[in-house]
Every structure is written in C-alpha cells, then in structure tokens.
Amino acid sequence: MSYVFGPVPSRRLGFSLGIDLVPKKVCSLDCIYCQVGPTTKKTITRKEYIPLNPVVEELKKWAYEGGEADVVTMSGNGEPTLNSKIGELLIQIKDITDLPTVVITNGTLLYRDEVRKDLLNADIVLPSLDAVTPNVFRAINRPHRSLDINKIIEGLIKFRDQFRGKYFLEILFCKGINDTERELEALYHAIEKIDPDEIHLNTVVRPPQNKRALPLTMEELERIAKRFGKKTKIIAHFDKEHLSTALQDFEKRVLDYLDRRPATPEDLCLVFGVTNDKLMNFMDKLKDEGKVVERVYDKKLYFQIRE
C-alpha cells in the first residue's frame, strides 16, 4: 500500500496503523533533531497533497482483509495538518473502523480556526512544543519564516478549550539548546496555560539530521519531569529494552490472531505490516519454541497455534 502502513508498535499508542497525508519531508518546520532528514519543502500552505480517495480505499482494503490495530494514526514523514482534507478523512475513518483516531502534529497550524475544527474529529491529538522563546524556537525547530511562536502557543491553548478528546503535549530536548533554566521556566508557564492531559518528555535517541542535536541523559529528563509535575512522562528510551518489549508485544499479537484462525504468511504480512522475510524469521522462532505449527491446505501454507 502507498499511504497506509503498519501497524507498528508504539510505546504510547499500542499497535498503530499509520497514514501518510503529505509527501516525505513536506513540513512547516525543519527540526535539527528530525530522524527523517532535512525538510525538502518548508511550507504552511494547506492543500490536498495526497488525494483522499486512494487513502480511504487502502484503509477499507486493510479493514476488509481483517487488519488489526489499536489506533489509526495520521503521522508519517511530514506534517499531516498541511493536508486540507484531514478533517474529512477523520470523519470517513469512523465509517470504516471503530478504532480511535490519532493525529501526531507539530502543532504549528493550530492557530488557524479551520485546522482546529478539522482536528476536533480526532480522538487523540499529540502536538509538540519544543521551545517558547523565539530565538530557541528558531534554533531547534527552524520554522517557516511566517510562523510566530506566540501565535502557535495561543493555538495550542484555544484547541485545549475546544477539544474533548485526549490531548498529549510532547517536548523533545536537545542538550544546550532548549534545556536552559530560562527556557524550562518559559515552557513550564506555557504548559500551565495549555493544560494538556499528559506531558511527554523526549530527547534525541536516533541519528538526527544535525550534529548539534545532542541528547539529555535520563537523569536530566527525570529532573525536568519532576519540575513539570505529576502529568509528566518520559517517553525516551536509551537502551534495547524497548525493542525487547516491542517484540514481546508483536508475539502476543500474532499468537492472539492465530488463536482465532489459521493464517497464511501473506495474511500476517498484511495484518501486521511486516515484510515476508521478517515475518518468516519470526515464525521460525515461534516454531522452534513450539508455539506455532505449519499446515498445508489446498497447496497453501498456513500457520496455526500448536494445540
């Protein structure tokens, strides 16, 4: 599929079925820490970058073929709110699946009435706010020239007043840039006004596009979390523990699925959004552990739970 991908394991959302709504690196920011790479088209112009109809058809196909996930997430490799059809898509998703809808956004366009109106159709919205003072905002996020951080914060506050779903605010810290005493104090006061349900602290844990983007330590994040209060969670991971957890979650999902019905490798690749090579390596492991068995029916290979 071209626009629908996954599901992929997410620390915050469970298994997330992703939807790309803009081409790669079409964004209103060019953050120094971005793992996707430099922004190729920095813009605040909203339009139908990716047509709505093929996205809806791919989602219908996934649902019809028994796809399973915990949420449907608008995220991908660019800023999803740049797609002017996001509100309409969020409505149409409700006709296809009962899964909660999530929008992961940089939050820069929430000062616009029409963007806030579009996102009211989501169940969960996760905007970012990495800086409050203009100089730090420009240093870490390298925004489109017309964006103003004060207007962005006003938009985040207005959306809180209008939105009845879950509202999580993420802050990604880069060493020596947005972790100064002045910036932390400014962030604290802005967060008080935005009043998100949760505050998620992150740092640079994957290769960034700019070598200036350096991570904070867990101890530094813990000090900030204590300062920001009880609603604060640290979502950054510094070791391989999260990979092990993701594999355990994936194993449970596969076994739960096979407990209901046998499935071909093609079925499992489609449902769980993995390549055939990765799937077969994983299924070999489950066979060796005695958890699944192979069965051939009508010249097709099936996996099923070992009785």
Burial of residue 229 (CB within 10 Å: 0-12, 13-18, 19+) is exposed
Beta strands at 300-305 and 292-297: parallel, antiparallel or unpaired? antiparallel
Q: pLDDT tens across 188-216, in order?
A: 999 999 999 999 999 998 778 888 899 99
Q: pLDDT tens across 275-307, in order?
A: 788 788 889 999 999 999 998 877 889 999 987
Question: How high is the pLDDT of residue 272?
Answer: 74
| Alpha-carbon dihedral sign for residues 210, 214, 218, 223 | negative
Angle at 295 between CA 289 and CA 299, to 5 degrees: 145
For helices 241-260 and 265-272, angle between their N-to-C axes, nearest 10 degrees? 130
Question: How high is the pLDDT of residue 9?
Answer: 72
Q: pLDDT tens across 82-101, in order?
A: 999 999 999 999 999 999 99
Tell me: pLDDT of 225 over 70.
yes
Confidence band for 247, pLDDT divided at 50, 70 and 90: low
Q: pLDDT tens across 154-187, in order?
A: 999 999 999 999 999 999 999 999 999 999 999 9
Question: How high is the pLDDT of residue 245?
Answer: 52
Q: Which residue has the higher pLDDT, 81 or 2?
A: 81
In DSSP terms, which residues pair with 307 in a beta bridge?
none
How many Cα atoms are found within 13 Å in the side-chain-facing hemisphere of 179?
Answer: 21
Confidence band for 242, pLDDT divided at 50, 70 and 90: very low
CATH 3.20.20.70 location in the chain:
4-238
Distance CA 197, CA 148 (A): 24
Query: Which bin fits 84, alpha (ψ -120 to 50), beta or left (φ > 0)?
Result: alpha
Q: What is the mean pLDDT of residues 42-63?
A: 96
Q: What is the mean pLDDT of residues 26-45?
A: 94
Question: How high is the pLDDT of residue 238?
Answer: 58
DSSP state of 215: P
For domain 4-238, say whether CATH 3.20.20.70 is its number: yes
Question: How high is the pLDDT of residue 129?
Answer: 99
Contact (CB, 8 A) for 177 and 167: no
Distance CA 284, CA 287 (A): 5
CATH 1.10.10.10 location in the chain:
242-305
Burial of residue 97 (CB within 10 Å: 0-12, 13-18, 19+) is middle
Q: Which residue has the higher pLDDT, 272 or 258?
A: 258
DSSP state of 216: P
Architecture per CATH, domain 242-305, reads as Orthogonal Bundle (1.10)
Question: How high is the pLDDT of residue 241?
Answer: 47
Confidence band for 239, pLDDT divided at 50, 70 and 90: very low
Task: Give the CA dihedral 168, 171, 172, 174, nearest 10 degrees.
Answer: -170
Distance CA 35, CA 47 (A): 25
| Portion of the chain with pLDDT greater than 70, in percent | 96
